[in-house]
């Protein structure tokens, strides 16, 4: 532990800022550059510059991950952590999109709403190449070009506002979407601090795992994923419900669902809080808990849809993402492998087999979520922590899994748990999954190799730190206690 104790919060802040700057500078050469930038800012610069860009991006990413890992052992204050978050975020604010082309889909879909297209029946390819959003549509990843939007009307209204304000011009449109991502980060910070206080958890530790996390910085700030907005609204709604304002909290979660639908899981656990606080017979309390938050969120969803004018097509597009195979989805991998095996043995079509295994995975996830909700109802598990575990189960068993989906569960667990296997797992996975995608947004085979190496290193470090704590219990003082509060337990 001596080497890690030598690092101060200030030293880690500077180290991480250098790493973040490397990620951003590398992104100018090898980030997810648009197909056409009329301003000439985000354009390729040749083989030599690309080689330097890759070295900067991956070197910076590794430095950032190391700085984050060390930072958790410094016993930093909340103020130090907020300052560090600002420093690490700043270099990525003006960078091109990093590690994903999704922001181009957002801009194109916003332009589609602006021009009156039905985003729930067509993809960005319907846009005029020379009109607003045309450059964004040309920059969308191939399988998303003709895919309807899986996002809710609330988010699409925000994207429409950005498309209207910028005319769909690539650089200002991406920066406009990044402003929304930064606002989401502020909301996450506010909610994390509040939830940590409600659970007697260190605010600094919660911010370190839930906001300072490299996976969040790279994919919410750098990659501009709307998962940040969904997570921020979901956390805020849960916090409000925990403080007794469940109607407002359910409404806020309803807005989160109108960004991305997985936030609906939070309504079940808000229902547990409502049922606990209700008066009267058990049946009445259970009914109120099961129905009331959903009715409030449903009213918000219906109102948002009517006000947005996009129609209720989002109800039918929630499964479109599952059509795209991602190697991080265990159920999709298992279904695909089993389907090909049966094709070789019996000549059957592998697609129905894959779909059946994916549906089975979702069914298992729903059973686990229901069990966690029951544990929360009976007092065996704290409701908000149960929500974090439920989201973790949903991500693990979904038919489509991207690295940044882990953030749904990580933020909740960061604010509600001081250690244990779940926190240790999301900490190690956060450090590993930043390597899964290239800065350009593609997913190369070596990305999984780097992620596996980072995962192995993280597990070894957690085990070593656990052994060292066990060996010197009699020497623990206030400083050690602060460090231990920041360190997930490997059990």
118-147 confidence digits (pLDDT tens): 999 999 999 988 888 899 999 997 778 888
CB 391 within 8 A of CB 401: no
Query: pLDDT at residue 233 above 50?
Result: yes
Q: How confident is the model at residue 75 (pLDDT cuts 50, 70, 90)?
A: confident
pLDDT digits (tens, 9 = 90+) for 16-25: 999 999 999 9
Q: Where does 262-349 have alpha helices with state H? A: 265-277, 282-308, 330-346
Candidates 153, 114, 157, 154; CA nearest to 137 is: 114
* Measured distance CA(330)–CA(343) in Å, rounded: 20
CB 195 within 8 A of CB 384: yes
CB 217 within 8 A of CB 170: no
Q: How confident is the model at residue 275 (pLDDT cuts 50, 70, 90)?
A: confident
* Measured distance CA(55)–CA(19) in Å, rounded: 12
* Measured distance CA(88)–CA(427) in Å, rounded: 18
Q: How confident is the model at residue 422 (pLDDT cuts 50, 70, 90)?
A: confident
CB 436 within 8 A of CB 448: yes
Q: How confident is the model at residue 56 (pLDDT cuts 50, 70, 90)?
A: very high
Q: What percent of the chain has pLDDT over 70?
A: 93
């Amino acid at each position: 532990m001596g080497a890690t104790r030598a690092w101060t919060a200030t030293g880690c802040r500077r180290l991480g800022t250098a790493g973040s700057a490397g990620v951003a500078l590398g992104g100018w050469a090898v980030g997810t550059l648009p197909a056409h930038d009329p301003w000439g800012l985000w354009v390729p610069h040749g083989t030599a510059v690309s080689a330097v860009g890759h070295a900067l991006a991956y070197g910076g990413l590794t430095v950032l991950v190391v700085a984050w890992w060390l930072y958790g052992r410094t016993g930093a204050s909340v103020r130090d952590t907020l300052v560090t978050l600002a420093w690490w975020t700043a270099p990525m604010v003006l960078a091109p999109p990093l590690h994903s082309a999704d922001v181009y889909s957002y801009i194109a879909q916003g332009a589609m709403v602006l021009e009156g297209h039905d985003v729930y029946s067509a993809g960005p390819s319907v846009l005029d190449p020379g009109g607003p959003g045309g450059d964004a549509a040309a920059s969308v990843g191939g399988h998303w070009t003709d895919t309807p939007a899986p996002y809710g009307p609330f988010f699409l209204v925000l994207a429409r506002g950005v498309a209207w304000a910028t005319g769909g011009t690539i650089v200002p449109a991406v920066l406009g979407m990044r402003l929304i991502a930064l606002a989401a980060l502020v909301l996450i910070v506010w909610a994390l601090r509040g939830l940590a206080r409600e659970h007697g958890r260190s605010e600094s530790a919660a911010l370190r795992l839930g906001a300072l996390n490299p996976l969040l910085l790279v994919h919410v700030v750098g990659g501009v994923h709307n998962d940040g907005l969904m997570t921020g609204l979901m956390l805020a709604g849960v916090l409000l419900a925990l403080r007794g304002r469940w109607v407002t909290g359910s409404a806020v979660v309803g807005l989160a669902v109108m960004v991305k639908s997985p936030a609906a899981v939070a309504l079940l656990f808000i229902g547990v809080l409502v049922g606990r606080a209700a008066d009267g017979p058990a049946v009445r309390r259970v009914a109120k808990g099961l129905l009331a938050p959903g009715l409030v969120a449903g009213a918000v969803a219906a109102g948002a849809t009517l006000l947005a004018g996009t129609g209720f097509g989002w109800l039918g597009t929630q499964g479109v993402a599952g059509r795209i195979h991602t190697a991080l989805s265990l159920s999709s991998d298992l279904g695909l492998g089993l389907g090909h095996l049966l094709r070789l043995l019996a000549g059957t079509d592998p697609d129905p087999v894959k779909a059946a295994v994916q549906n089975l995975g979702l069914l298992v996830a729903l059973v686990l979520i229901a069990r966690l909700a029951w544990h929360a109802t009976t007092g065996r598990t704290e409701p908000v922590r149960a929500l974090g575990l439920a989201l973790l189960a949903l991500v693990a068993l979904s038919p489509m899994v991207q690295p940044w989906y882990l953030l749904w569960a990580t933020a909740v667990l960061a604010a509600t748990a001081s250690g244990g296997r779940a926190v240790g797992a999301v900490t190690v996975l956060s450090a590993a999954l930043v390597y899964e995608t290239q800065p350009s947004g593609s997913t190369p085979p070596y990305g999984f190799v780097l992620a596996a190496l980072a995962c192995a290193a993280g597990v070894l470090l957690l085990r070593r730190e656990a052994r060292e704590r066990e060996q010197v219990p009699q020497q623990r003082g206030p400083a050690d206690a602060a460090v231990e509060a920041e360190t997930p337990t490997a059990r």
